[in-house]
Structure 1
Amino acid sequence: MSMLGRVTQQTVQASSLRNLQSNLSRMATLQAQMSSGTKLQLPSDDPSATSDVMRLNASARQLDQFGRNASDGTSWLTTIDTALSSTTTALQRARDLTVQGGNGAYGLTSRQALATEIAGIRDDLLKQANTTFLGRTVFAGTANTGAAYTVGTDASGNPTYTFNGVAGSSVQRQVGTDTQVRVDSDGAAVFGNGTSSVFATLDTIASTLNAGGDPTQYLSQLDGHLNAVTNEAASVGSRQRVLDASTADLTSASQTVKTQTSGLQDIDLAEVIMQLKSQEVAYQGALGATGRVLQPTLMDFLK
């Protein structure tokens, strides 16, 4: 035959206080969720969900970095494209002037004027070749000399053009886990180097005009430089399309990560409000019950 444990007033009071504290704790949890907007106040609230949220947050940070890289790469390529566009226009003008200079009807003064304009085009092309973005030369790879080309003179006093880029180097931007895009251009491939540079070719054309010679013999060299600029412009366009596609993919992936994170940690506000109201009713009932339990005094037992 089992025996019942003795229930004392102190036992009832202790039990009532525990229940009251439990109700208050649940209400405090719901209030914290409603004020913060998240149901994960502590890792212990849901260890599995917390782990998933941490993983998703890491993915979000990585996607944000890829997005910044893509934006920076777009700025580099836009800068290069603008320089190449200006270079193409200048070279086409230089070609027109060269053809005009081959006209035997032009006198010395007219030919000198053509040579002066050719020299001005050369200076403009040097400016385009030394284009920078945020202090970095866009046509010199990883070089930090500040200028892709420097102008000097040889022993005879003729100008020389030295390319300062680092051979085989390139500026890359990581825009995906397995995707890198080159965002600079090889100045030597676009403008040439030394005596084979477009600047030297224009100097030769100007000198020929001043000397009364036929500059059209250098049209093939000019066309070669024009083709090099056109080919690089096409390459820049191709790389820009890769960046555009990567940016669209990153935007979609970032939205997916945000949705998944929200599903794991964000509260359903309407549901939490209903639960809080229900818990408040339960808490008020517990307060009333506890008040009645704690009410008896010594005089009540002596009656």
Structure 2
Amino acid sequence: MRVTNRMLNNNVIRNINRNLEIMSRTQEQMSSGKAVSRPSDDPIVVARVLAFKTSIAANDQYKKNMEDARGWLDASERALDMATATLQRARELAVYGANGTMPDESMEALAAEVDQLIDEMVQIGNTSYGGRFLFAGTDTPEAPFERITDNTDPEFPVKYNGDTQKLDWEVAPQVTITVNENGKYVFNQAIDTNGDNTADKGIFKLLYELYEALKNHNNTQVSNTLGQFDQAIDHILDIRATLGARSNRLEMATSRLDDTQIGLTKTMSKLEDIDLAETVMNYKNQENVYRASLATGAMVLQPSLIDYLR
């Protein structure tokens, strides 16, 4: 095969451009810190990196859901802690009022405090978290409890305006956790008066009965409420235990998700990120090759017909 000067020139220029392109790619890797930045660099690696990024983004959202769910559960538990304290105070007043030697004026003073406890319990039932009412079921924008004065209303003395639906947060693929307890179950289904394991009286009704008994100086009726207050307190404590168990589960799930995220990030980094020391060494080698190709090209391209005619 006849080798011409044009062929030599083209080969030299092509090789120089190829070496320059290799240097440019390595330089881009050093500046970005990424071994691959486009599908053409390595389609298989890029596909795996994108899959890892999708998983990491999904887990970030699940973690936000868990944090919101824990916030909701913890806020509910704090509200029920206040409800427990309110019931315990009401029971103390009932113990005082059951004393047959207490003057009428003192009974009426106790009744006035119980009336305030009813308002306090309504406020607890209307506790909100982030602008959403905790005990309203799924109707979270509206306050669920309203104190009424018309005793012909079947929900007298406090009306429940929420629903009984569950709020479920997705905390993993195909995994949800209920973060709420509706106010009807918490406050209106707390006491079994018939012994048939069915709650047929609510906390507000119990407080109002205590208020009426104290106001009417009826020691016997006051005494009859003591056992029911014990039931109501136990009912709230059971709900608090359930909420606490869910919160603990979310705490463990969050910790497990953090470990998963670390593993995914490390694996993705091995695929995507460069070894800087190795890349710098490669770049210096490529630079030397490029300089050598320039020097060789200068010698190859230098001779011409004019050189021989001198």
Q: Note the 1:122-201 alignment, pairs <5 A.
A: 122-154=118-150, 159-167=156-164, 169-192=165-188, 196-201=201-206
Deviation track 1:25-83 (CA, whole Å, cap 9, x = no partner) reads 00001000000001102211111111111111111011101100000011101101110
3-state SS, counterpart of residue 196 of structure 1: coil
In 2, the alpha carbon distance for the partners of 1:216 and 1:156 equals 26
In 2, the alpha carbon distance for the partners of 1:120 and 1:272 equals 74
Assess if the C-alpha contact under 8 Å between 1:148 and 1:164 holds in 2: yes
Q: Note the 1:241-252 alignment, pairs <5 A.
A: 241-252=248-259
In 2, the alpha carbon distance for the partners of 1:189 and 1:231 equals 12
Structure 2 letter corresponding to 1:93: R
Q: Equivalent pairs: percent with the same residue?
A: 33
Assess if the C-alpha contact under 8 Å between 1:176 and 1:246 holds in 2: no
3-state SS, counterpart of residue 60 of structure 1: helix
Assess if the C-alpha contact under 8 Å between 2:127 and 2:135 holds in 1: yes
In 2, the alpha carbon distance for the partners of 1:155 and 1:207 equals 13
Give the structure 1 partner of residue 94 of structure 2. Answer: 98
3-state SS, counterpart of residue 44 of structure 1: coil
The alignment's C-alpha RMSD in Å is 1.8
1:85 aligned to 2:81? yes
Q: Note the 1:206-217 alignment, pairs <5 A.
A: 206-214=211-219, 215-217=222-224
In 2, the alpha carbon distance for the partners of 1:137 and 1:65 equals 23
In 2, the alpha carbon distance for the partners of 1:127 and 1:247 equals 32
1:121 aligned to 2:117? yes
Give the structure 1 partner of residue 49 of structure 2. Answer: 53
Assess if the C-alpha contact under 8 Å between 1:26 and 1:279 holds in 2: yes
In 1, the alpha carbon distance for the partners of 2:40 and 2:152 equals 81
Give the structure 2 partner of residue 228 of structure 1. Answer: 235
Assess if the C-alpha contact under 8 Å between 1:161 and 1:193 holds in 2: no
TM-score, normalised to structure 1, is 0.94
Q: How many residues align?
A: 298
Once the two structures are overlaid, the 10-residue window that deviates more, 200-209 or 76-85, is: 200-209
**Stretches of 4+ aligned residues off by more than 6 angstroms:** none
Assess if the C-alpha contact under 8 Å between 1:163 and 1:193 holds in 2: no
Assess if the C-alpha contact under 8 Å between 2:157 and 2:208 holds in 1: no
Deviation track 1:236-265 (CA, whole Å, cap 9, x = no partner) reads 011011101110110011111101100111
Aligned CA distance change for structure 1 residues 259 and 90 (closer, same or farther; 3 Å): same
In 2, the alpha carbon distance for the partners of 1:298 and 1:128 equals 101
Question: What is the CA distance between 1:235 and its match in structure 2?
Answer: 0.4
Aligned CA distance change for structure 1 residues 29 and 76 (closer, same or farther; 3 Å): same
Deviation track 1:199-231 (CA, whole Å, cap 9, x = no partner) reads 121111111111110211112222222121111
Once the two structures are overlaid, the 10-residue window that deviates more, 230-239 or 182-191, is: 182-191
In 1, the alpha carbon distance for the partners of 2:77 and 2:235 equals 13
In 2, the alpha carbon distance for the partners of 1:204 and 1:41 equals 73
1:202 aligned to 2:207? yes
Once the two structures are overlaid, the 10-residue window that deviates more, 188-197 or 285-294, is: 188-197
Give the structure 1 partner of residue 9 of structure 2. Answer: 13
Question: What is the CA distance between 1:155 and its match in structure 2?
Answer: 5.8
In 1, the alpha carbon distance for the partners of 2:162 and 2:189 equals 10
TM-score, normalised to structure 2, is 0.92
Deviation track 1:173-215 (CA, whole Å, cap 9, x = no partner) reads 1111232111111211211169932112111111111111021
Q: Which runs of 5+ in 2 are unaligned?
A: 191-199
In 1, the alpha carbon distance for the partners of 2:294 and 2:304 equals 18
Question: What is the CA distance between 1:108 and its match in structure 2?
Answer: 1.2
In 1, the alpha carbon distance for the partners of 2:272 and 2:152 equals 76
3-state SS, counterpart of residue 99 of structure 1: helix
Give the structure 2 partner of residue 22 of structure 1. Answer: 18
Once the two structures are overlaid, the 10-residue window that deviates more, 181-190 or 53-62, is: 181-190
